[in-house]
Structure 1
């Protein structure tokens, strides 16, 4: 990193004062993003897309895994360079807006996916496009954390945003449940005939995300461009070389930081797999209907939000690494119990699925705070950028493991084993990382 680039990073990473309304505006994007994370990828649209009208259970689940795998590969190839170039060009907020708009449009277009086999491909394409754009938008959004916080309150601000995401998911899912899923005739006269209750819910979700994403673009200023940044064309050609140069510098000067970036990328992808495939497993392997899936999602979000707050208090006493290790182990144990006890009925998913939800938030929160203690002084912006992008670089692991496990086992329940293996791999990579003093 050049001297001017370092100054550029420092000036964008350490605001002198941020008003509470700016933090609230930033966190509202997280609130709104629950429309895609909770409704589209986890509990509603993916469950709808893998229902009987679209084809055989194992075949449709495999195609879903392949679509998400392709999206993950695209993210892995583009996200690391995109994050560097947009920040260097001073276009962080611009590209957040572009990618958010793509997610909103893809979500709204899901209204066209009727419950027939010929519409499966359209649904998978829209889901893949939405996932790619959402991951790109998340890179820019997470990078904004340095603009709305400083070293004294970064954990509090980050946790507030994360909590807003959980809360937004609960509120939106409750609205969809009451307005469209529960009643035989929902709001605006919508019924389940032709899947219209789910399809209209996608339009509502798109509007929800678009509305709550607006404040961040007015409250958070655009970052200044790096005066030494290359032109766009040159930047595209040299972006990976610069990325590998940064990684090589970490290898020489802060190796444990690099080790943690790799480990966290793997186990965070396992966490993403939990969110992505939980609804599908609940519906296909435990017999949950769409109403029950959404009810479970609401309860799981409440549990995860409360556990994240409590986990932060516990983390200060026993250390972030201990929280991460214990949480991942217990998540895998819950996953194996779900797999082994599956024949006993739906209560198994309620008990052990909710128990698993307890440990998801603390892992996410502890991972971010652990890294903040590892970052060498003066390199906060660079390392947090790598943290955001390395997680996306391996975002194909969980979909690939899920797809392979389902293909080998023949039913969706085997996908739990695939996701658990990704979590275990992340755990093994985390073990040798030294905890900061």
Structure 2
């Protein structure tokens, strides 16, 4: 194979890998945060009740993901096969997303809705474990920060396009039955009174994923051939138990998994409840939440590229630390933004200042959130044993989900007890603080000495 053909093959694999972010991002953008979650709030009527129910549903799904992620990663590492797992979880993504069409106003079933949502969430989260494990195969240690940032930015762009499609052509205002531009949903093909335009967010997310995963499956291959030494789930569980038991012997990775466990949980809490919070506290409609999302996504895409280059220049650790501080400030600020006041300043009921303040919050969430997630997966590559990369990203997912139920469940519990969405958000502050403190024990290059020693004959 010539040098030019090798370069073309590498470039094609990188672009194929980018397309997973492009294809999967709408689940987080449209379903988890900006369109479907506020729609559930509208159906339930009470913002506090919707926030509590969403917290329990997402939290319980997170527990299942936490338990299974490292086991599946260990099983995949033993065989060298990742693609077959990605096919399986892609199917779950499509089925779960498409099923949300059934959340009709006149026959809304919260339990069934949360089940379909969980199936799709399982598909997205588990597929992400295996695609993230492919990152170190795409470039050198110095290059993967930029590659990760560009992939995250590309994903944000895909989320932005689907969001614009929803707002312009599909998602209708509950009162008028028209989209943001005053159009009938899908040019009159969908019934606005039955909220078919907004419910179409599920099928749109499923179709988008199915179409744009084609380049991924065409251009991306497992870097190493299958060894044929597959192991059972029981054996995979045993390996994971051994790895977890030995974590204190690799203190940098141990500290990083703990740090990311908390700050990513806090970030997921902001994503999961940002739309519901704006709908309940500020009284925003679905199209208004969508406009907020556009600002956040554009900010995320721009800063993901910038953050990727800073990652390449400085390494991921200082980038992550700065982003955590920004998200901590955002979490504190959110508590003090309502229709009655902004950061302690009383405003009239007709004031636009709360809306403007929350738009600024959205820009900061998008910027810091995109950068910290991109830098986090490059940091995981540096902390991982190269021989067990998929298992490492399974542990990374475990770290993100082991306490992944704490943010949604604690928000749900505190909201239920206080009856206030603003007070209900306060657990996020604690999570970001814990994540920032633990980062001090993380080495920029991880526990390389331990990996190198273990690889010696």
TM-score range, shorter chain: 0.7 to 0.9
Q: Distance in 2 between matches of 1:87 and 1:113?
A: 39
Q: What is the SS of the residue equivalent to 1:215? A: helix
Match of 2:348 in 1: none
Residue in 2 aligned with 1:403?
A: 412
Q: Is residue 107 of structure 1 aligned with residue 108 of structure 2? A: no
Task: Measure, in 2, the Cα distance between the counterparts of 1:135 and 1:306.
Answer: 24
Q: 1 CA distance for matches of 2:48 and 2:107?
A: 14
Partner of 1:241: 238
1:152 deviation in Å? 4.8
Match of 1:44 in 2: 35
Conserved 8 A contact 1:35-1:169: yes
Q: Larger deviation: 359-368 or 125-134? A: 359-368
Residues 61-97 of structure 1 show CA distances to partners (whole Å, capped at 9, x for unaligned) of 2111111111011111111101211332344111111
SS of 1:193 mapped into structure 2: coil
Residue equivalent to 1:300: 296
Q: Give the superposition deviation at 1:318.
A: 5.6
2:22 matches 1:21: no
Match of 1:171 in 2: 161
- The whole-number CA distance in structure 1 between the counterparts of 2:276 and 2:315 is 34
Q: Is the 8 A contact 1:142 1:388 kept in 2?
A: no
- Stretch moving more, 25-34 or 239-248: 239-248
> CA separation in 2, counterparts of 1:162 and 1:92?
21
CA contact (8 A) 2:66 2:397 kept: no
How many equivalent pairs are there?
Answer: 417
1:57, distance to aligned residue in structure 2 (A): 2.7
What is the CA distance between 1:325 and its match in structure 2? 2.2
Structure-1 residue corresponding to 2:266: 270
Query: Paired residue for 1:3?
Result: none
1:244 CA displacement: 2.4
Please tell me whether the aligned partners of residues 25 and 216 of structure 1 are also in contact (alpha carbons under 8 angstroms).
yes
Distance change >3 Å, CA 227–CA 186, structure 1 → 2: closer
Q: Is the 8 A contact 1:287 1:346 kept in 2?
A: no
The match for 2:86 is 96
**CA deviations over 1:328-363 (Å, ceiling 9, x no partner):** 122121221121132333222112232333222222
Question: Is the contact between residue 414 and residue 424 of structure 2 (CA under 8 Å) also seen in structure 1?
Answer: yes
Query: 1:162: how far off?
Result: 1.0
Give, in whole Å, the separation in 2 of the partners of 1:127 and 1:381: 25
CA distance in 1, matches of 2:185, 2:380: 46
Q: 1:128 Cα deviation (Å)?
A: 1.8
Task: Report Cα offsets for 1:268-326 as digits up to 9, x if no partner.
Answer: 12212222111111111122111111111111111122222223444566653333223
Task: Say yes or no: does 1:330 pair with 2:305.
Answer: no
Cα shift at 1:426: 1.5
Q: Which residue pairs with 2:139 in the alignment?
A: 149
Distance 1:90 1:318 in 2: 32
* 1:126-141 correspondence runs (5 A): 126-141=116-131
Contact 2:143 2:312 (C-alpha < 8 Å) held by counterparts:
no
**Is residue 96–residue 137 contact of structure 1 (8 Å, CA) maintained in 2?**
yes
Q: Which runs of 5+ in 1 are unaligned?
A: 1-14
The answer to whether the Cα contact below 8 Å between 2:74 and 2:390 also exists between their aligned partners in 1 is no
Change over 3 Å in CA distance of 1:19–1:330 after alignment to 2: closer
Separation (CA, whole Å) in 2 of partners of 1:139 and 1:171? 24
Alpha-carbon separation, structure 1, partners of 2:33 and 2:314: 32
Uncovered stretches (5+) of structure 2, i.e. residues with no partner: 1-5, 172-179, 342-353, 447-457
Q: How does 1:45-60 map to 2 (within 5 A)?
A: 45-51=36-42, 53-60=43-50
Structure with the higher fraction of residues in helix conformation: 1
CA gap 1:206/1:411 in 2 versus in 1, 3 angstroms: same
Give the distance between the partners of 2:424 and 2:70, measured in 1 at CA: 28
> Normalization by structure 2: what TM-score?
0.84
Match of 1:361?
370
The answer (yes or no) to whether the contact 1:279–1:293 under 8 Å persists in 2 is yes
Change in 2 beyond 3 A, CA 1:354/1:428: same
Q: Who is 2:174 aligned against? A: none
Change in Cα spacing, 1:133 to 1:434, as seen in structure 2 (3 Å) is same
Summarize deviations over 1:162-198 as a string: whole Å, max 9, x none. 1111111111111111111323413241343111111
Equivalent-residue separation in structure 1 for 2:390 and 2:31 (angstroms): 31
CA apart distance, 1:228: 4.2
Q: Cα gap change, 1:142/1:370 in structure 2, threshold over 3 Å: closer, same or farther?
A: closer
| Residue 355 of structure 2 corresponds to residue 346 of structure 1 | yes
- Contact 1:286–1:346 (CA<8 Å) still a contact in 2? yes
Return the TM-score normalized by structure 1: 0.87
Measured after TM superposition, the shift of residue 117 of structure 1 is 6.7
Measured after TM superposition, the shift of residue 38 of structure 1 is: 0.5
Asked if 1:211 is matched to 2:218, the reply is no
Question: Over the residues paired in the alignment, what is the CA RMSD in angstroms?
Answer: 2.5
